[in-house]
Every structure is written in structure tokens, then in C-alpha cells.
Structure 1
Amino acid sequence: MNIRWERTGSAPVPDHARQHRVRMRDGVRLATDVYLPPDISADAGADADTGTGPQELPAVLVRLPYDKNSRYVYFDRIASLFTARGYALVVQDVRGKFRSGGQTLPFLREPLDGYDAIDWITHQPWSNGVVGMFGDSYYGFTQWAAVAAQHPALRAIVPRVTTVDFNGTTQSDPFDPSPVGRPVWLEGIEYYAHYWVDNTVYDFTPDRSVRPVIEQYEQAFTAMGARSAWFDLLAPRYTNLLPALGRHPFDARPVPVLHCVGWFDNISVPHMRDYLELASRPGWDAVQYLWAGAIDHENYHLDLAPAAPADDHAHDESALDRMLPGYAGPALDFFDVFLKGVRPVSSLPKVAWELGHDGWRTAEAWPPAGSTERTFWLTEPARARGPLPGGTLSDEPSDSNRDADGYGNGDGEQSVQWVYDPESLVPSQVANSFSFLQSYPDEARLAAREDVLVFTSPALAEPLDLAGPIGLALRVTSTGETFDVFAKVLDIGPDGQAHMIARGQVSVRSLPAPEEIPVALGHTGYRLRPGHRLALTLAGSDYPMFLPSSGSTENPWTTLAPKPSTQTLYADAVTRLTVTVLADPGATGSASATASGTPSV
């Protein structure tokens, strides 16, 4: 065993921040930075030069586990954008992380700690008693936890690339009797082994050759001399997080929400589910807003993918400066309405969304008015196991599979098989799906594998504008007791390069196999340009992003001998890809854009 690892601690507090040790109700103190406009005194709430007149401000709170002073979250730079607009920015290390005290466990204390942090803000001399919250991923979840706690000062939130239920994204409940669930998102659970061990962060690469898979992490914990209690809780079992919050956030007092979704974010499916549920709930519906851009979890943009060194904001300071106005701008506009009241509610579009390759638009609802469903049938399956173009995505089912009504199975049923081999897994195309657009891989080589099926449409004569949900229905049987299906929708360019638009995956109990297997591929806004083709790939694994199937009723974390299987896909009236399209491309028009590339509101 030779596991190499690195440990990263706290970065220095910047000179323009003032750090406080804020006491929680149980006595634990959390490290908290306050950024104020330069003319505001942190001590007296008065003009720093004249000392006269109270200068009370609305505050925006961020609660995160990634070191409030790190280059990774760049809040020392973001702060100047907030303070220039007249906000105090308050950034806090959550309990058990970096400079904050307490036990290192995610999620469980966030409602109470969020309430106490907001309460502390309201008692500061520079505070006017109005608080909003902002942030990505886990620091999007801490906003939902604070909503559940219902502090009256919390007036608006801007959760970005996140979801209310992170544990629900990683795996399915094994006690759920449904035959169709989700594969274990190994990358998602592995996150806890890196970020939730102690106050610091551990960087290591597991030995992917080791079996059982759980032993890869046991080796890493042994080498580090420390382990993650939350990883131990989740792997190899399922834990339902939401009851621990005491109150589901959606059952709390409604607050205005700007959902900032990335079409290429690996958490976009549950985030869109959160938005659509709240947009349909009386009381919540009037204050739900959607901003949806062609970005991934780490804020890389489709227009710059793959990221050249000069455009990679993770490493280039000028690229970061160019990225930040578009990152913070929608939130600041939102807070100007709901925290300051200096702009009318009517100035905010209910939906601001980006059509990939064609710019920003606005709508009254999502999907936009005028969108319709279009169905593609998977035909010519005999050609599907091989390189592009493979089988065909057709506007009608195969003639041989129609009955007298035009849609049933005919006498000439067509099918194709693919093999799941646990000794030759289909490799994940990116090392880190959180920054998918940073590398934006060409998937053509993946489509050429024998164990991957591919179906491709004819080349488009006109643009095809995708604007809404994408769904897949399959009829598949297997020789295994359990099997996984990984589906990707691709854009095939005239040069033969294949780039992912959306993805989805299911885990199936095949005894008996369901007649129809639904696969949700989330939502998107994306233009397929003339000369391009729409494609669909199907595979049985995606490792190491997802835990490989055991092929049996054994736990995939602990099995020493996962079983191979053969899957049969039936190209009939059940098996179809459904996309949501704008009926008249370009009819809704592009919104006016700011220098940051997002719509002007």
C-alpha cells in the first residue's frame, strides 16, 4: 500500500476583513469574517471619517466548509462587489472546519448554527436587521438549513448549483421497493473522505485496482491516520438526512429564492427538482426565480470550453476577475429588490436562462412558453454496438415494430445486446465532474466501445433548440439480478467530435425487469446547430464516477466478485428519447446582456 496524500489548512485572513469568533448556543465559536464598505466603521456603525450618523447595512451571509479565506472560494475578491453595492458580506467557516470549533460532521447542526449566525448579525452596530444568504453547493445547502430554522431576519436566499438533499443525490434507499433506483455516485460520497475528516482538507487518490471498493478508502484513512465519520455513515449504507433538520425547508415560512442552476452542473437534476417543486407550491410560488446558465459546478462556461490556460479562473487571476461579475451580479440584483428595496420586483425576470451557443433569454415560466415535446425512437439497433454513427434516432418507430395501430410491437422485434464486464469497466470521461467544462471531453472514443450502444440522428438542416426536460424510456432485460444503465445525450459536430449535453443513470433490479425503465436526464437550454447531430449513448458502467454494480444482491461496496451480465435493449415503441424544444427557434429573442454575459434586469 502506497497512498500519497496532502493536507491543506487555513489561508491567512485578508487585511480588509475583520475576523470574529461568533458564539453558538452550545458555546462553540465559529470563525466569521466581516467585510464592510470602506466608509463604514465596524465598531460604531458610523461614518469612519466623520464619526457621525448611523450607517446601517443589509448583510449577506455565507456559511461554508472550504476555508473562508481560500483562493478556491475567492471571497476576499467577491467582497468588493458586495460592499460596492452597499452590503456587508459575512463569511463563516461552518462548525468543525478550518478555524471554527466543534465536531467535524456536515449537515446536522446547520439549521441551529445558521439561525445563531443570523441572530449575531442583527445585533451588530452596522446591521439594519435584514439578512440574505448566498453561495454554491454545500453553502447553498446551509441556506436551506437556515430557511428551515426560520429566523425572521432572513429575507432572501440565492442557492447556486446545489440541492436541499445532498445525500439523496449519492444513492438510493435500498429499502425502497421500486425496481428502478440510482447507482451510487461514488465521486459524491468520496467528497466526504476528502473534506469532512477534520478541520482541514485531505487530497489523495485511492488505488482503484483494490477490491472490495470500500478497502480503497480504508487504505487511505490508514495512511492518513484519520478518517471521516460521515463517510463511514454513508458507505456502505444509505442515510436519510432530511429528518435530522427538524423541519423540511420547503415546509418553512416562504422566502424569495433565486435558484442559480448550471446546465452542466453535476447536481442540476435535483436542483431543478427543488425549483419546480417550490414553483408549484402555494405561498412559495410567487417568490421563486430561476437563473440557468451554460455553466458547470465550478463556474466554467460552455463558450470557453475546454478552458484555455488564460481562461481558467482556477489558476489565472485575470480570468477570475472576468468571471466574478457574472457570478455575483444576478445575486446582487436580486438582493437590491428583496433586501434593499431599491429596485421594483417587476425588474426581475421570473426566469433568465441561457440557450447554449445562442445567448441569454427571459421567460415567465420554465419550460418557456411555446416549447413542445419531440420524440426520437431508437431504431436500427443492429448498428448500435460500434463506432459513430451507430443506430439511428428516428422521428418514428421502426416499421418492423409497428402493429395495426402504428405503435405496438410487430412480428419483427429488433434488439441489441451489450455486456457489463466488471473487469473492463467503461471509464469516466473526466477526473472531476464538478469542473466538467474545464476539460469538456470528446466522447467519440467512448461511443466506439463494444460495450457502449450509440444512436444518432441525421444531420440537422435547421437549429434544434432544447429548452426543458429530457427523458428516456427503455425496455431492457438482463442476465444479472441487478444492472445499471448510464445514458448520455450528445452533440455530434461535423468534425465528428461528440460533446455531452445531458446525462442520467439508473440502477435496476431485474427480477422481474420492469416493462419500462424511465431515465431522467434533467433539463437543459442548448442549441444544436445546423450540420450537427443529436446522439444517445448507453453503457453499463461509468467508473470511478459511479460505484460499479455488483450484478447481484450483494453490496457493491463490499463484494469481492461482481458478476458480469448481458443486457438486451429492445428497439420498440417503449424505447424512446423525448426532448423539449422551442417550436420556433429564435422566436423568444435574446435578452439584452451585460458585460458579464448575463441578462440585464
Structure 2
Amino acid sequence: MLVWAAVGALLPVGYSRAQVVKRAPQSDVLQQLGLAIPMRDGIRLAADLYLPHAGGRYGTILIRTPYNRKAGALGTYQFFTQRGYAVLMEDVRGRYASQGIFGPTEQEGPDSSDTIDWIAGQPWSNGRVGMAGSSYLGMVQWWAAVQDNPHLVAISPMCSGDDEYLDRFYSTGGALKLGHRLLWLAQNLTPPSHVRPVFAGYIWHLPERTADVAALGEALPLWRAALDHPSYDSYWRPFSLRDQLKRVGIPVLSLGGWFDNYAESDLDAFSRLAKRHDHVETWIGPWAHNPGLKFASRDFGSQAAIPIRLKQAEWFDRWMKGETNEADEENGPALHIFVMGPNAWREEHEWPLARTRYTPLYLSSKGHANSAEGDGGLGWLPVRRSQPDTFTYDPRFPAPTMGGAICCDPKLLPPGPLDQSPVEQRQDVLVYTSAPLSEDTEVTGPVRAVLYVATSANDTDFTAKLVDVARDGRPTIVTDGIQRLRYRLSLDRPIFVKRNTPYQISIDAGVTSYVFPAGHRIRLEISSSNFPRFDRNLNSAEAVADETKIVKAKQTIFHEKGYPSEVILPIIPAKNSGAKVNGRPEESRHGES
């Protein structure tokens, strides 16, 4: 036992005398458990410290979590202490053994900085701190990085996000991420005395304002404040870091997944940071929020695996110890994307890719595009005459969520490239399909649908889903999105629509890197719901938090001269591919339109 740890007079400020100081079993690691680290407002946060037993001063890997600092600690501290790092695991404010109230994420900035200052002042610290962790553990790193603390020298967030409105509560189209948020709150904030009902028992609850009581057994101020501000108004500005990322000058290694809720945010962060400095590296794999190689209907193979923890260690070795290794990127910012289809990694240095050809595929039909059995088509040239398609959206019977970029429970909300056959049997889902492709077609970047729509309601939603149809007819989701009509012009200023009047809308349908193989067909699904990933628009044009009146809506999609509804694909030209005509692939490459 170290002398300074055994003598109370030598305990650094913030140590609890009740802490446990011992060597980890079957490990050359010294543990100091139950530390109480002081914050600037007097609140103390609980933490556990793990040190290499050799003694000396070390760089420290700081991991701050709302999920219990004890969970998963063994593998983390053993790995990093073996590489010569101290590891501090800390419960964030208001969670588990930490004092205070768990609330707005902006508090994570000052708390992180205070913890880093505390670390730098300890006798075992060399004053250099790095941070690692996924999800909320990644988000706190962004908050720490904008505090400009000189002791924080590198971070490695994974599947994190940096905007509370756009990442965690609402979509880029203004629909509430109901399944994500309510499920997370229920799983993490339910009082021990409350027996939480099954997911299906509270996800349908109306009004949404009191869904917290249905799920957790009590009102939750965090939930109700979010519902009181469905627009991206001044309430949300303090909870967004996007405009502050330009202040982050330290090296950043980030990771994300194409089927994770935070993929767009992770790529946006790379783009912003790459303009700031060269020491930025991002990996986007075929993963969901909980990285794995295999989904229910798709296995991307062993090549999808990367040694995440080892890459993080190399990153910290480079920037905290000054070692020369593969993390020393000499060619500027590096973006490693996993291209699904060929299932291979490719290095880029920008996002979106400058060589992208944004190519429209135009919708058409004879007025009966309902379901996969309908007559909806996609072509590379606009049509002059085409009958509009209609369907009835009844919020009592929403189209079910089946895969996609979802967080955060793979059992209750399975993510990934799932089979869409059950959804495509519905009459309230319009299906538009291209002719078979004559050669592989890569789609890498943001996908967007521009639609001309009308509705019998004053407000409703429209969804767009990009689908790969295999030679055997099996449809697999690639990416998707949703747009609430009241937010068609701006997220901060809702404007309702006039009934049965055509409007142009743009649906952000997510990001991907996906090769549609030759012989496959490209498909676009249009509907008005994706539940429970997103909340149901009840079509009443009332306040979303309090509405209970359900209204059926007749929805219309136009696709003719003057109303060229289209899905715009970010196509990446293949090397030595055929010529382009007006920015579109030659018809011979893709069959007849």
C-alpha cells in the first residue's frame, strides 16, 4: 500500500476519508474508490481512480458517465493502466453517488473542466488529460472541449452528438424522437420504487405531456420542458455546441455508425473541425448505437470490425505521450467511411465529398403507387404527365418503425438494414421503384427527397425512405427521414398549411455510404408516419404536447410537369465510369426510366 494513500494527512483535497484504497485483484493496478471531487458550486461528484502500480506521474483518461461509474470499469481501467495511464471514472452530477441534480447538459462543461483541474493538481498526474466514451459519455467530451481547459489535450467521443434538440429530442424535420427519448428516460430515470410498464404500455400514451408519468410514474421536468419547446427556439440554443466547435483546437478521434441516431451529427462535427485544424480523425462504420457486426438481416463481415480501444490508445499515445504512430496523420483531417455493399473501408478528407454528383430520381405513377403492388416508378428523367397518388393517414394505425438509424435499445427498437416487406404491404405507404441497375451505383452523402404534397389537414407529417430492392425482391432500408409540415420552412417558426393546397417540401432522409449492386433496384417509400421512432402527428394542428384529438388526413403526392417530386441521391462516380449527361448517369447505365 502506498504511504501517501494510507496517511490521512496526505490525502489530496477532494478525497473522501471513507474511500477504499487497494490493489485490484489479479492486477498490477492501484484503486482509489469513492473519491469526492469538488465542483465550483460546492457540489461533489463521485469518482473512482485507477493507477498503474509502478508509481510516478501519469496522463489521465477521464470517463464521465450517467450510467454508473462501476459499470464496465474493469475492462476500461485494465486496458489503459496497462498502457501507462491513470483512469478516472466519474458519475456526472445528480447520478448514482454524485451530488446535485441531473439536468441540462450545459452543466457538463463546467463540471468536466473542474474535474480536469482537480486531476491536474494531483501528485500522480502529469497535468495531461484525455477523455473517452460513447453516447452521453461522448457528448460530455464536446462540452469539455469548448471550455478551453489547457490540461485537456485530446478526446475520443463515439456516437455522441452535440445538439440537444437535433440529436436527442427532435428530428431535422421537427418530429419528436419519441421512441428514443421516452425509452431512454424510462430506462434511466425511473425511480426505484416504480415498476416500469412495458414499452408498448406507455409509448402510445396521449397527451404526450403526461407520457412521463405513464413511463416513469412521475412528472419529469426535463421531458416537459422539451415538449413545451417543440420549435428550435431560444430555449435550445444553450444546449447546442455546433457553432462552438470552431473553438475546439485539440486532437479529436471520433467514431460513429451509419445506423446510429447520431451519424449526421458525427459527420457534421468532422466537417466543422476539419476546417479548424488537421488533427481530426473520424470513423463511420456499418454500426448502430451499440456497435456490432451483424444485424437481423445483414452481416457486414469481419472487415467491418476495427480495434476501437486500440485506436483510442494510439491516439492518446500520440497526443498525450508524444509517441509517433499511425495516429500521426500527415495528410490533414482523415475520414474513414465503411462503404456498404463492397463492405470496405475508404479514406476521405472531407464531408460531403466534393466529387459528389447530386442526381435526382423522379417519381411517377398512374395514380396507384400504394404498396409494393402498386404502379409507382422512379426514373432518371422527369415525366410530363403522371397521375397524383393519394392515401389516407390515420394516426390510430401508424406505419411501424422497421430498422434504420435508431437509438438506443436494439431489442425494443431494432436498428439497421431491416427487411421492409411488411411495411410495403400497407395502402398508406406509397412505393416508387426504379428499373434494375445495369451497373453498381454508389450513394455516399446526404439523401434528400423534394416532394410536392397536399393534405386535408392543417398540419401533418411526410416520411421518405430510401430502399435497396435485391434481385429476389427483398427490400432493405438504407436511410430515411421525416418532415412535419408546420416546420417545412424553418424549425424555429411553425407555419401551418392550407388544406388541399400543393406545397413543396424537402425531407432530410439521412446519410449513408451504400452501393446499389447491378441488377438491384432503387426504391423510395413515402408515408406519413414512422412509429414509434417518431411521434404521431395527430393532424389536429394543436400543440403537440397536449393534443389528443385524432384526425384522419387525405394525403396527396404530385409528380408531373410543374410538380417534379424527386429523391436526390449523392452519387459518387466510379473510376473509369461512363460519361454524364446533365449531371445524370446515362440511361444505358440504369435501364429505362
Map of 1:493 onto structure 2: 470
Cα 1:85–1:394 change in 2 (3 A) is farther
Shift of 1:135: 1.7
Could you say which residue in structure 2 is the equivalent of 1:598? none
Match of 2:547 among 551, 559, 564: 559
Q: Which amino acid aligns with 1:57?
A: Y
In structure 2, what is the equivalent of residue 122 of structure 1? 120
Q: Which residue of 1 aligns with 2:13?
A: none
Aligned-partner SS, 2:476:
strand
Question: Contact between 1:547 and 1:556, CA under 8 Å: does it hold in 2?
Answer: no
Distance 1:164 1:439 in 2: 22
Q: What's the counterpart of residue 439 of structure 2?
A: 462
Residue number in structure 2 paired with 1:422: 395
Does the aligned pair in 1 maintain the 2:45–2:98 contact within 8 Å? yes
Which amino acid in structure 1 is aligned with residue 91 of structure 2? D
Pair 1:355 & 2:377 matched: no
Q: 1:133–1:542: structure 2 CA closer, same or farther, 3 Å change rule?
A: same
Map of 1:322-471 to 2, 5 A cutoff? 326-343=307-324, 344-346=328-330, 350-357=334-341, 358-368=343-353, 370-380=355-365, 382-387=367-372, 390-398=375-383, 401=384, 412-429=385-402, 433-434=407-408, 435=410, 440-471=417-448
> Is 1:18 aligned to 2:45, yes or no?
no
For normalisation by structure 1, the TM-score amounts to 0.79
The alpha-carbon distance between structure 1 residues 369 and 482, as it changes in their structure 2 partners (threshold 3 A), is closer
**1:292 matched to 2:248:** no
- Report Cα offsets for 1:388-408 as digits up to 9, x if no partner: 57511211112xx1xxxxxxx
Query: Quick one: distance in 2 between partners of 1:569 and 1:363?
Result: 37
1:580 aligns with 2:570: yes
Q: Deviations over 1:65-84 (max 9, x none)?
A: 111222xxx34213333333
- Tell me the residue number matched to 1:260: 255
The verdict on how the C-alpha distance between 1:198 and 1:98 changes in structure 2, with shifts beyond 3 A counting, is farther
Q: Which amino acid aligns with 1:237?
A: H
Once the two structures are TM-superposed, the CA of residue 155 in structure 1 deviates from its matched residue by 1.5
Report what 1:597 is aligned to.
Answer: none
Shift, 1:381, TM fit: 5.3
Contact between 1:337 and 1:345, CA under 8 Å: does it hold in 2?
no
Deviation at 1:217, TM superposition (A): 3.0
- Contact residue 189 and residue 235 of structure 1 kept, 8 A: no
Work out whether 1:192 is the aligned partner of 2:209. no
Q: Can you list the C-alpha shifts for 1:14-50, whole angstroms capped at 9, x where unaligned?
A: 756532222222222212122334x43xxxxx2xxxx
Residue 45 of structure 2 corresponds to residue 30 of structure 1? yes
Q: 1:144 aligns with which of 123, 142, 158?
A: 142
Q: Is this contact kept in 2: 1:104–1:196, CA < 8 A? A: no
Match of 1:60 in 2: 61
Given the two structures, how large is their TM-score scaled by the length of structure 2?
0.80
What amino acid does structure 2 have at the position aligned with 1:530? Answer: A
Whole-angstrom CA distance in 1 between matches of 2:238 and 2:310: 34
Structure 1 residues 241 and 198, CA gap change in structure 2 (3 angstroms): farther
Q: Does 1:243 align with 2:227?
A: no
Distance 1:171 1:349, change over 3 A: closer
Measured after TM superposition, the shift of residue 494 of structure 1 is 2.3
Q: Name the CA shift for 1:361/1:248 in 2 (closer, same or farther; >3 Å).
A: closer
Mapped to 2, the partners of 1:83 and 1:199 lie a distance apart of: 34
Give 1:212 deviation, angstroms: 2.7
Moved more, 104-113 or 345-354: 345-354
CA distance in 2, matches of 1:355, 1:385: 32
For residues 457-511 of structure 1, the C-alpha deviation after alignment (integer angstroms, 9 at most, x for no partner) is 2222322222222111111111110010121111222233222111111100352
- Change beyond 3 A, Cα 1:245–1:386: closer
SS in 1 for 2:267: helix
Question: Which residue identity does 1:92 align to in structure 2?
Answer: E
The alpha-carbon deviation at position 430 of structure 1 amounts to: 5.3
Residues 1:124 and 1:248: Cα distance change in structure 2 (over 3 Å): farther
- Give 1:440 shift: 4.8
Residue in structure 2 matching 1:110, options 108, 120, 130: 108
The share of aligned pairs that are identical, in percent, is 26
- Structure 2 vs 1, CA of residues 77 and 253 (structure 1 numbering), >3 Å: closer, same or farther? closer
For 1:585 and 1:246, the matched residues in 2 are separated by 38
TM-superposed CA distance for 1:273, in Å, is: 2.7
Asked whether the equivalents of residues 460 and 484 of structure 2 are also in contact (C-alpha less than 8 Å), the reply is yes
Q: Which amino acid aligns with 1:183?
A: A
For 1:131 and 1:369, the matched residues in 2 are separated by 35
Distance 2:151 2:242 in 1: 18
C-alpha displacement at 1:276, in angstroms?
2.5
Distance 2:74 2:304 in 1: 15
Q: How many Å separate the matches in 1 of 2:415 and 2:536?
A: 25
How many corresponding residue pairs? 522
More displaced 10-residue stretch of structure 1: 422-431 or 102-111: 422-431
CA contact (8 A) 1:193 1:228 kept: no
Amino acid at match of 2:549: A
| Cα deviation digits, residues 367-421 of structure 1 (max 9, x gap) | 44643222211122534212257511211112xx1xxxxxxxxxx3531012110
- Corresponding position of 1:532: 520
Partner of 2:586: none
Work out whether 1:473 is the aligned partner of 2:450.
yes
Q: Aligned pair in 2 of structure 1 residues 439, 519: CA closer, same or farther (>3 Å)? A: closer
1-side partners of 2:358 and 2:193: how far apart?
A: 48
Q: AA paired with 2:156?
A: V
Give the conservation status (yes or no) of the 8 Å contact 1:417–1:566: yes
User: Are residue 269 (structure 1) and residue 264 (structure 2) matched?
Assistant: yes
**CA distance in 1 between partners of 2:88 and 2:194 (Å):** 22
Instruction: Write the letter of the residue equivalent to 2:32.
Output: R
Equivalent of residue 183 in structure 1, options 172, 175, 190: 175
Of 473, 482, 496, the residue aligned with 1:505 is 482
SS at match of 2:176: coil
Q: Structure 2 CA distance, aligned partners of 1:439 and 1:458?
A: 25
Could you tell me how far 1:567 is from its partner in structure 2?
1.3
- Bigger CA drift: 152-161 or 366-375? 366-375
Q: Which moved more, 1:513-522 or 1:441-450?
A: 513-522
Contact 1:465 1:585 in 2 (8 A): no
CA contact (8 A) 1:96 1:199 kept: no
In the alignment, structure 1 residue 69 sits paired with structure 2 residue 73: no
* Matches of 1:381 and 1:56, distance apart in 2: 74
Amino acid at match of 2:67: Y
Please name the residue that 1:543 is paired with: 531
SS in 1 for 2:542: coil
Deviation of the 1:171 alpha carbon: 5.3
Q: 2:226 corresponds to which letter in structure 1?
A: L
Distance 1:202 1:250 in 2: 41
CA deviations over 1:306-347 (Å, ceiling 9, x no partner): 289xx9xxxxxxx9xx99963323322322332222123328
| Aligned-partner Cα distance in 1 for 2:525–2:76 | 40
Q: Which runs of 5 or more residues in structure 1 are unaligned?
A: 1-12, 41-45, 47-54, 174-179, 312-318, 402-411, 588-601
Letter in 2 for 1:69: K
Q: CA RMSD in A?
A: 3.3
Shift in Å at residue 261 of structure 1? 2.2
- 1:413 and 1:245 map into 2 onto residues whose CA distance is 43
* Per-residue deviation, 1:545: 1.9
Which AA in structure 1 matches 2:336? A
- The 3 A distance-change label for structure 1 pair 397 and 200 is farther
Is the CA contact 1:140–1:160 (under 8 Å) kept in the aligned structure 2? yes
Residue pair 1:105, 1:196 contacting (<8 A) in 2 also: no
Whole-Å separation in 2 of the counterparts to 1:165 and 1:138: 12
Q: What are the superposed Cα offsets for residues 531-558 of structure 1, whole Å, 9 maximum, x if unpaired?
A: 3222111111122221111313212332
How much does 1:112 deviate?
A: 1.1
The aligned residue for residue 595 of structure 1 is: none
Flag the 1:124–1:75 CA change in 2: closer, same or farther, 3 A: same
